[in-house]
Structure 1
């Protein structure tokens, strides 16, 4: 289970006073916080996929928060997003949720409530991921399609489940135990079952192409990412 000590948050907020107050309070609560002043910078920083939660203001210079959130979801980023805004109408909230936000907090808010919501969101990935892109690979989770370049790839249900988990955690390593829990509830049919399914997935996803995207680190796990 994730602890506060290793929660990393990105705050995208153009009001420097608010940003400093929020960042200082999160730090005091043991939550690490990076800051972006505008929407374009925030989108660039968030696109790396290294953050556990994104705290996203709606009104931002260069690119508004709704646009940033939608762009992240279109990229396939499933990092939980908590929208921060003074707009409190139902339509405003629905607009944020349609863009892929996971939660909504109205300004002014209590810092203690922000911390609680951040901790809750850090324990899960967003269910709003729709599309994942890496190099020439594109996965559409709505249509359940996989494509590398111009080639569409079909995989069996087990391969799809593995690929979905790897994509949702990319570029991080996913442990063998986590994959086995997702596939068989932690009780695989035999000790080599996961290895066999990963091999079959590589045959479909990597072998016909010049670059491999599925990488296994012995005794650590498997990741979907470009080679270092």
Structure 2
């Protein structure tokens, strides 16, 4: 996936290490940030504590099967889209998965291209669901466009808003300069220094002198946004 406007954060809960290695090799460089868990309990822990766009969940897992993981995840109130992977292709198995809260279903064996397409489709569904972004004490309501840090309202220009939205969606990962430029100007970037101007304006309003810095510059790579309560160094 070459669309710089979105990076898909996906968690794979899969115990077949050979299959997992093949999937990761295929998706590498296509716009994905990938995590993996080898069994049900560790998958449930990551799924319930991480901020993922999509979870790819195998049916047959050690220590806790995928259906139980999914049921527990939904019981916690997590609505992240879940794609079930399984060798079961019968209708009753699909109905079991859907009734447990699955959003989509892919039977093994499958093509890597179809897997990628299913994940991307689910990620856009999640993008529409997520109306309020949060990183630590920073909140961005996408419906009202209200941005606050620890209750303090931030007034930002449109370019700074676009940068902040991308950084919040990808936090705490580093976002390359090119992705931020694309978020503001698409393919028509006016000047390399223009991004620096927008970032400076965002940092001036986001990080007051008495506050820990949330917006970090990563030399030669790009920028990232962190929870100041957990990672205050620059």
TM range (shorter): 0.5 to 0.7
2:21 to 22, 27, 32: 27
TM-score norm. by structure 1 comes to: 0.66
Moved more, 166-175 or 122-131: 122-131
Give the structure 2 partner of residue 169 of structure 1. 170
| Equivalent pair of 1:27/1:33 in contact (CA under 8 Å) | no
| Equivalent pair of 1:53/1:118 in contact (CA under 8 Å) | no
Q: Distance in 2 between matches of 1:125 and 1:203?
A: 36
Change (3 A) 1:124 1:181: farther
Unaligned runs of at least 5 residues, structure 1: 13-18, 74-79, 98-103
Q: Distance in 1 between matches of 2:177 and 2:121?
A: 19
Q: CA deviation at 1:220?
A: 0.8
Q: Distance in 2 between matches of 1:209 and 1:60?
A: 47
Q: CA deviation at 1:194?
A: 0.7
| Equivalent pair of 1:159/1:198 in contact (CA under 8 Å) | yes
Q: CA deviation at 1:62?
A: 9.3
**2:220 matches 1:219:** yes
Give the structure 2 partner of residue 119 of structure 1. 116
Q: Distance in 2 between matches of 1:152 and 1:8?
A: 28
Change (3 A) 1:141 1:110: same
- The 5 Å alignment of 1:1-228 reads 10-12=11-13, 19-20=14-15, 22-28=16-22, 31=25, 33-38=36-41, 41-46=42-47, 47-49=49-51, 54-56=55-57, 59-60=67-68, 64-67=72-75, 71=78, 81-83=82-84, 86-88=93-95, 92=99, 96=102, 104-105=104-105, 109-113=107-111, 115-120=112-117, 126-127=123-124, 128-129=126-127, 130=130, 131-207=132-208, 210-226=211-227, 227=231
TM-score norm. by structure 2 comes to: 0.65
Moved more, 163-172 or 135-144: 135-144
Cα deviation per residue 1:70-100 (whole Å; 9 max; x = unaligned)? 5365xxxxxx7424583438x849x655xxx
Give the structure 1 partner of residue 31 of structure 2. none
Q: Secondary structure at the match of 1:222?
A: strand
